[in-house]
Structure 1
Amino acid sequence: MRSLAALAHTDPAFLRRWRFAAGAAALADMLAFALLHGAGVSLEFAQALAFAAALLAAISVLRGIRCAHRWATLCFVVALAYPLRAGVLSLFAAQWPPLVAIVPAALAGALTLLLGGTATGASTRRQDFAVAVPLAVVYLLVLRLVYLGQIELAPQEAYYWNYSQHLDIGYLDHPPLVAWLIAATFALGDGEFFVRLPAVLAWAVMLAFAVAYAQDMAGRGNALRCALLAATLPFFFGIGVMITPDAPLAAAWAAALFFLQRALLGERPLAWLGAGLAIGIGMLAKYSMVLVPASAFVFMLVDARSRRSLLSAWAWGGVLVALLVFSPVIVWNLQHDWASFAFQGSRRLAARAPQFSLPEFLASALLLLTPLGVLALWRWLRPQGGISSTFQVVPANDEPSLLAGRRRLFMQVFTLLPLLVFAVSSLRAETKFHWTGPIWLAILPVLAATMSRPGLGEGALDRWLARGWMPLLQALLLVYAYGLFYYPVWGLAGLRLHHTYLEMGWRDLRGQVQGIEEAVLRETGSRPAIVGLDKHNTADEMAFYDPRGDGARDTASRHLFFNENAVMYEFWFPRSAFAGRDLIAVSGWRGNLEDPRLPAMATRLGPVQVLIARKGGVAVATYYARVVYGYRPAPLPQ
């Protein structure tokens, strides 16, 4: 704390006062919670009222402070402390008595107040990045670790978990890396936390390489600000929350940028092997990684000094490393008639109904970069724009202006070329908002340069950007803490209106389906399988939340009954494997269970049953189930 205080230029008297305030808050928190819990107040309201008492205790200690800036900071730090403390309480209250769980929760809240107040509230500088950035990164990391095991898996996450339960060297719709990572961490323990743990680890790797890349391109000060952006901008934050192929893809993309700029700009031969390894790993995560080597090739064509690399043995060694790492996916496609390459390539572009999605593509930049980021990008790309004043960290034996120009060209090629590919694709095919996310890693140093002056220049827009970033990032921190973590677990003052994709009561729904399963077992003497009648979402959740723990082995999708895409379920569960078995069909739409095609594929059908999924005691979704006795995999009606 003394070192932190010195770094933040903290007034020693204020530091002592803030320490005392944090201690008083912790004691008031525990005492008030004990009294409220003893009075029979519900856990949700008891913890909220106890935190209010803790806040009053802290304010009473700090009441002599007259600095408006410090009071504003206190409010922000308090707002961050509350969701973290509540998450620690709900985490431990699941295993311990509430009166015991409140102790680590109160200490977590007090520590957040103590560190936040010392580092930012007491600082005499408005933007002390050397202190604020590490604390912000650590806060977001701890917040993830506290909450990730308490929030239900989204269907897409459950689908990738199902990948890991059917381990292979390739899959139809994605390469296998996400499955391998989940299998590795799931071996350490079960539950949502271990499914999502690879996302947190990949986020940390991405952050480290993004900082190293920014430091090479623009120096340590820029790297600190770049770390803050990589921790808080929507796409980069999101990949560390939900497990998808985008998490390892972003980590590999950042690593590839780091090694490629060292190979092409720093002319370090060994960096080519690191770039090849990163690109190969990225290709194991998602096929869009191919845009990185494509950008490298274009850069070598347009940058005269880099053309010699086209004949470099080290560069071709990097290509060989990438191909060797990616080779399992090539083998899988050879064994399956190039199914995955076709699914992500020709089949997507040859859609029966072309979809003009350029507006969605443009909107994705606003969402992923935020409007401030888009303005900073425009400022950099416009004539006379640039960040030459920021990019002056150069080797002693190189020409500063030449290297600054090559760095600018590097970022332009590695940003604009991949964006152009997605823009052209969006003219006739679907575009999802997160697809362009990793591309923005190349220009993070540009955005970071606008966070403090001197940045891009001295104009009104430059001053406005420098003033706007910190309030925006602080607002994003609060949105993440409350919207993505606190609300799904605790609700808001008793209000629980959960989204039908996230937090819709999957565990409760699967428990009700289990009751039907046990009834069929008692009736027929054999255990039925479960079938979700949508593309894969219902089957994914039914498999993961199977209370018997073997859902991945006997939970299929709609391909058993309908001629509709069910992605990997068609590979895992051929229709013939369920011949003669009893099935429980589950759907969010009653019409699926009353479809006239079903009777031809069963010896008899049970009645349609209504299932109300609940979360936190609140009804959040209605599903329907029907028993299909004696499944007959006859030719599917059209």
Structure 2
Amino acid sequence: MNTLFATAPASSWRRFYFISLLLTLVFRGWLGAVLPFTGDEAYFYWWGKIPAGGFYDHPPMVGWWLAALISVSEAEWWLRLPAILQPALLSFMLLGFLRDDAPATRWGAATLMLLAPASVLDVLITTDIPLVYFSVASALVFLHAQRTRSMPAFALAGLLLGGAFLSKYFAVLLGLAYIVWALWRPAAWKWKGLALLVLCALPAGLYNAWWNSQHCWANVMFNVFNRHGGAGLSWKTPLLYAGMMLWLLTPMVAWRLLRAPGAWMRQAALPALVVVPLAVFGLLSLVKTIGLHWVFSFVPLAFLMYARAVPDGVLRRTRNITAVLALLHVAGVVAVATQPVDSWAQRLGPRKYAGVVQTVKADEVIAALGSDVDRYVLMTDGYSPSVTLGYNHGRYWPVFGPASSHARHDDVLTDFRALAGRDILILSKEKPDLADYTPYFREVSEDTLQVRGATFWRIRGHGFDYAAYHAGVLEPARRLWYAIPKWLPDCGCYFEERYFN
């Protein structure tokens, strides 16, 4: 009888977990299949479609993964499979790591991982997907290494950190947390483990540095210099960051962690792996908006820390409240998904609604172009519409004009010299000023295109003048985005070699 009562709670936690696992997988599989590819996803799709050793604004890992996936199928659900499965696989990782912990802690942490808001909703294949896999795996192996003082485990944590670095540069915050751990109550074995970890992560960093040195230092220019033009001290951005973390962790988890820090600060190295990166983001939020996806790598570790810090009763209530929140999010998504596209016209305004139609009904936009798709080189005036329409069309659409500092991988893929004299059609969501186009063509005209009540403009340019475009667009782009500092060694730059040899 005592044995029966002792095992009943464990079976209850386990049953709740497996029900959550099944339901979230079904929902995420459906969402991943019906949700149209977003601009970011289409951008990374082209990384996989035209694979390379690196890409303009981020390290190459997601492009490599997509290249492998594309070799099998280009269906949205298939390309998103690493994202669709991520919460489930992370929960398995937590279960494995917590195999010696109490059942409530073990199954509770894994269930929170499944039911957290971002875990329910995020099915997009982006740079953050491989980053989260490698970062969480590195952190869990590192926690095992510091508990057992296993040098091979420190080495494996370093290799995984290298994979995270080749996914996204935010991996350096996890490396910073490892350093803080070594500095806190330093010991010889800690320094030895850290040195081994760094040594095993170093090849990934060296490879990325080598690639950048041969390619205009593109990642460095974008992440260090070009993307921060709007940064500035603000009281709004820290509040946005706090609200975002409240949503990601759920209010109950966030409140309990803040209310009783003594309960989790004693957990050896784990608090450093959570607090150090989130504190750095907190400082950055004073001058910059922190992206929702930037912190995804550290949310599973926060749930692990929480599950080990609270009593079983509190963890059970947290799990149940999180389940209710998950159901509300699912209901919201289903409600939005069942609305016809046309119903958003009045709510969003002309330009935003055109963006929705362009994403959700891209095939209709392309079909509406009629014979123009064969008569012209097709382009848009922005990176997101180009990659989205290109993905749906099955052929790459270059970007015409200066665009912005973001997503300039088009500079790698498009050679405007080869387009001299060609006829180009530029599709835009905004009424154009033809003065922006007439210098670059022998003749320019415009008309409108209506798709599902959204208005698009077609700018038809006949006889592309490459020399004028070089002076009016490429020269300013060189000054704005490719002003490589003298202290970076000049080992090669595709933009310079192509246009300014």
- Shorter-chain TM range is 0.7 to 0.9
The aligned residue for residue 366 of structure 2 is 513
**If the length of structure 1 is used for normalisation, what is the TM-score?**
0.66
Structure 1 residue 631: deviation in Å? Answer: 1.9
Residues 195 and 243 of structure 1 are in contact (CA less than 8 Å); yes or no, is this contact kept in structure 2? yes
232, 235, 238: which one pairs with 1:354?
232
- 1:284 partnered with 2:166: yes
Higher Cα Rg: structure 1 or 2?
1
- After superposition, the CA RMSD in angstroms is 3.1
Q: Secondary structure at the match of 1:607?
A: strand
Distance 1:541 1:470 in 2: 39
Change beyond 3 A, Cα 1:445–1:468:
closer
The aligned residue for residue 257 of structure 1 is 139
Change beyond 3 A, Cα 1:520–1:245:
closer
- 1:477 partnered with 2:327: yes
The aligned residue for residue 499 of structure 2 is none
The aligned residue for residue 636 of structure 1 is 472
Matched residue count? 458
The aligned residue for residue 219 of structure 2 is 340
Deviations 1:296-321 (A, max 9, x none): 111011034x5423135xx5443233
The aligned residue for residue 415 of structure 1 is 274
Distance 1:345 1:205 in 2: 33
Structure 1 residue 487: deviation in Å? Answer: 4.1
Counterpart code for 1:636: G
Q: Secondary structure at the match of 1:611?
A: strand
Residues 130 and 224 of structure 1 are in contact (CA less than 8 Å); yes or no, is this contact kept in structure 2? yes
Structure 1 residue 572: deviation in Å? Answer: 1.6
Q: Secondary structure at the match of 2:54?
A: coil
Residues 236 and 437 of structure 1 are in contact (CA less than 8 Å); yes or no, is this contact kept in structure 2? no
241, 244, 247: which one pairs with 1:364?
244
Report 1 or 2 for greater relative contact order, CA contacts < 8 Å, sequence distance ≥ 6. Answer: 2
The aligned residue for residue 153 of structure 1 is 37
Q: Secondary structure at the match of 1:636?
A: helix
The aligned residue for residue 571 of structure 1 is 412
Deviations 1:119-140 (A, max 9, x none): xxxxx98992210111211221
Change beyond 3 A, Cα 1:629–1:191:
farther
Structure 1 residue 435: deviation in Å? Answer: 1.4
Distance 1:177 1:374 in 2: 31
Residues 602 and 628 of structure 1 are in contact (CA less than 8 Å); yes or no, is this contact kept in structure 2? yes
Structure 1 residue 508: deviation in Å? Answer: 3.5
Distance 2:458 2:363 in 1: 11
Q: Secondary structure at the match of 2:44?
A: helix
Structure 1 residue 234: deviation in Å? Answer: 2.2
Q: Secondary structure at the match of 2:435?
A: coil
Residues 451 and 467 of structure 1 are in contact (CA less than 8 Å); yes or no, is this contact kept in structure 2? no
Q: Secondary structure at the match of 1:606?
A: strand
Change beyond 3 A, Cα 1:509–1:352:
closer
Distance 2:356 2:124 in 1: 13
Residues 157 and 244 of structure 1 are in contact (CA less than 8 Å); yes or no, is this contact kept in structure 2? yes
- 1:562 partnered with 2:415: no
Structure 1 residue 199: deviation in Å? Answer: 1.5
372, 386, 391: which one pairs with 2:263?
386
Counterpart code for 1:479: H
Distance 1:437 1:380 in 2: 23
Change beyond 3 A, Cα 1:512–1:426:
closer
Distance 1:589 1:184 in 2: 37
Structure 1 residue 586: deviation in Å? Answer: 1.3
Residues 380 and 386 of structure 2 are in contact (CA less than 8 Å); yes or no, is this contact kept in structure 1? yes
The aligned residue for residue 248 of structure 1 is 130
Deviations 1:262-300 (A, max 9, x none): 111221222112201210111111100111121111101
- 1:233 partnered with 2:116: yes
Deviations 1:71-115 (A, max 9, x none): xxxxxxxxxxxxxxxxxxxxxxxxxxxxxxxxxxxxxxxxxxxxx
The aligned residue for residue 197 of structure 1 is 81
Structure 2 stretches of 5 or more lacking a match? 477-501
Distance 2:137 2:108 in 1: 18
Matches within 5 A, 1:461-540: 466-480=316-330, 482-484=331-333, 486-487=334-335, 489-491=337-339, 496-497=343-344, 500=352, 504=357, 506=359, 508-516=361-369, 518-519=371-372, 521=374, 527-534=375-382, 536-540=383-387
Question: Identity, % of aligned pairs?
Answer: 21
532, 541, 545: which one pairs with 2:388?
541
Counterpart code for 2:90: M
Structure 1 residue 545: deviation in Å? Answer: 0.8
The aligned residue for residue 310 of structure 1 is 191
Structure 1 residue 153: deviation in Å? Answer: 0.7
The aligned residue for residue 484 of structure 2 is none
Q: Secondary structure at the match of 1:609?
A: strand
Matches within 5 A, 1:38-117: none
Change beyond 3 A, Cα 1:250–1:564:
closer
Change beyond 3 A, Cα 1:609–1:221:
same
Identify which range, 201-210 or 421-430, moves more after superposition. 201-210
Distance 1:556 1:156 in 2: 16
**If the length of structure 2 is used for normalisation, what is the TM-score?**
0.82
